[in-house]
Structure 1
Amino acid sequence: MAGDVYTVAGGKGGVGKTTTAVNTAIALQAAGRRTIVVDADLGMTNLSELLGLDHEPRLHDVLAGDAELGDAIAEGPRGVSVLAGRGTLESFAEADPSNLRPVLRALRRSYEAVIVDTGAGLSHETLVPAGMSDGIVLVTTPDEVSLTDAKKVGDLAERVDGSIVGAVLTKVRDDIDVSAVGDELGEEILGVVPQDDEATADEPLVVTSPDSYAAQAYRRLGTKLADRIDDPTVERPVES
């Protein structure tokens, strides 16, 4: 049985898409689901830096036709697999985003969960995984600009037959009405990541600061996605 692909997307930079993707992937791996996190933010890749990995080759090499997919997969924290990119202009120019589709198809045959980190805004490398995902997780802060941009991404994703699973709110202060934010966004709130000043350790928080409120929120999100993966009633896209 093929695994599930979940695309982590959002309209605004700096809202915590990569942090959400990484921590959720590790939480899923810890929950017993064989998981890989993919850095599909081809222009501003930072997954390898976030996790302190120095593995070659990388996703950009695979997309350029210069490397085999299996050779580009590294082992990350707590056994999660990582397919990182390379943050150079030359690599970005040579990588073909359309090759993301066969890459993700291959990964879903080997993993129970494929978590795809995408760049800010609307781009080809965001729409490709969004269109073939089992679910899209929107990431946004509660501020108006971020919410507006997230809604735009959600609207466009649905036009390419992407299915929004729900949203993750990050950098949430105590005075924020989460229910009201969910109503404005028009999506189920899957997780609330507080503005956690105690979580000062390096990423990933589920490993380095496991007792922080933020880490607990990501573990709960991982549990929700694990339950969804196990649910046979969830409608999934048909491979073309």
Structure 2
Amino acid sequence: MPSPDHNPAFPAAQPGAAPESVRPAPVRVIAVASGKGGVGKTNVSVNLALSLQNAGQRTLLLDTDLGLANVDVMLGLSPRFTLADVLAGRCELRDTLLEGPGGMWIVPAASGKRHMTELLPQQHVGLVHAFSQLDVPIDTMVVDNAAGIADGVLTFCQAAQDVIVVVCDEPASVTDAYALIKVLSRDRGVSRVQILANQVQHAAEGRQLFDKLQRVTSKFLDVTLNYLGAIPRDEWLRRAVQRQEAVVDAFPSAPASAAFRDIARRAGQWQSPQGPRGHVEFFMERLIAQPSRSAAA
């Protein structure tokens, strides 16, 4: 793949401030997380991102499972550079970009690099800030997080406009999802969380999972939960994973594919960010640019 530096889709940054008319619009950032592993979170991230791309949203998929990354594996890609190389100073963030299916961009993380799971909080924040210099023409970024409540997960969720928590019908999944929501709410000020039920046998099962979480959070937490929908347990999804493809590409008529397209349609209707919220955020410069551009309009 040619370097983005030589790709006309990546215009070189010009010295000085950009004119108001060409400042890039804000990027909607959606973080996908889960309390425990094994609930299909990365599958959700990959298929949601590709569904958004196929719906006309220029999309970037960021893998922030820093020690056990697998977005590139799920899509059969071979990255030359990863976020580990960025943090080691071996390359710039833009050098990690891979072109994925449908033309969406992917920033891969490293797998089997233990030191990547031991980054300091300021390194997680620095990684978020690095995206302000990424002059890629995108509308939406989907962030695939590691499972659990590590500092990196909390920072990347806080830095997004919307957080999707993936749950499945296992007691540990629901319990750990509540723990994640509690920490995001109390420690990071996240006030709204989207709940996505995965691997459900029928539609009612997804709603029941949401109701379980809703009952507990409404009693003890100051956070709003929204039910985003459910992805059915689907043999075609398993076959797509074996083929190292997204199910929405490999088997577009599969039940899971239809569900992902519906989730992407709902996510595409969420309000775009209107300006900075006063804490760490992805693409901060694009958010700061908004008030002056609105005033000039």
Say which one has the larger Rg: 2
Matched, 1:168 2:208: no
Q: Secondary structure at the match of 1:148?
A: helix
1:26-45 to 2 correspondence within 5 Å?
26-45=50-69
Q: Equivalents in 1 of 2:49, 2:135: separation in Å?
A: 14
Kindly provide the CA deviation profile for residues 52-103 of structure 1, in whole angstroms up to 9, marking residues without a partner as x. 1112111221133321111111100001100011213266268643322213
Q: Equivalents in 2 of 1:169, 1:147: separation in Å?
A: 10
Give the RMSD, CA atoms, in angstroms: 2.2
- Of 181-190 and 127-136, deviating more is 181-190
Which of 93, 103, 108 is 1:84 aligned to?
A: 108
- Of 144-153 and 199-208, deviating more is 199-208
Q: Equivalents in 2 of 1:8, 1:161: separation in Å?
A: 17
Matched, 1:10 2:34: yes
Q: Give, as a single letter, the amino acid of the residue that structure 2 aligns with 1:7.
A: A
- Alpha-carbon shift at residue 195 of structure 1 (Å): 0.9
Aligned residue number for residue 212 of structure 1: 254
Which of 219, 226, 230 is 1:188 aligned to?
A: 226
Q: Give, as a single letter, the amino acid of the residue that structure 1 aligns with 2:250.
A: T
Q: Secondary structure at the match of 2:268?
A: helix
Aligned residue number for residue 136 of structure 1: 163
Q: Equivalents in 1 of 2:181, 2:35: separation in Å?
A: 9
Aligned residue number for residue 47 of structure 1: 71
Q: Equivalents in 2 of 1:30, 1:107: separation in Å?
A: 22
Change (3 A) 1:140 1:108: farther
Identical-residue share of aligned pairs (%): 30
Any conservation in 2 of the 1:168–1:192 contact (CA below 8 Å)? yes
1:120-131 to 2 correspondence within 5 Å?
120-131=147-158
Q: Equivalents in 1 of 2:178, 2:118: separation in Å?
A: 31
Matched, 1:238 2:277: yes
TM-score by length of 1: 0.89
- Alpha-carbon shift at residue 5 of structure 1 (Å): 1.0
Aligned residues: 237
1:113-124 to 2 correspondence within 5 Å?
113-124=140-151
Any conservation in 1 of the 2:67–2:114 contact (CA below 8 Å)? no
Any conservation in 1 of the 2:198–2:206 contact (CA below 8 Å)? no
Aligned residue number for residue 145 of structure 1: 172
Any conservation in 1 of the 2:83–2:96 contact (CA below 8 Å)? yes
Q: Equivalents in 2 of 1:99, 1:122: separation in Å?
A: 19
Gaps in structure 2 of 5+ consecutive residues: 1-24, 215-224, 280-297
Any conservation in 1 of the 2:164–2:194 contact (CA below 8 Å)? yes
TM-score by length of 2: 0.73
Q: Give, as a single letter, the amino acid of the residue that structure 2 aligns with 1:183.
A: D
Q: Give, as a single letter, the amino acid of the residue that structure 1 aligns with 2:36.
A: K
Which of 184, 195, 205 is 1:177 aligned to?
A: 205
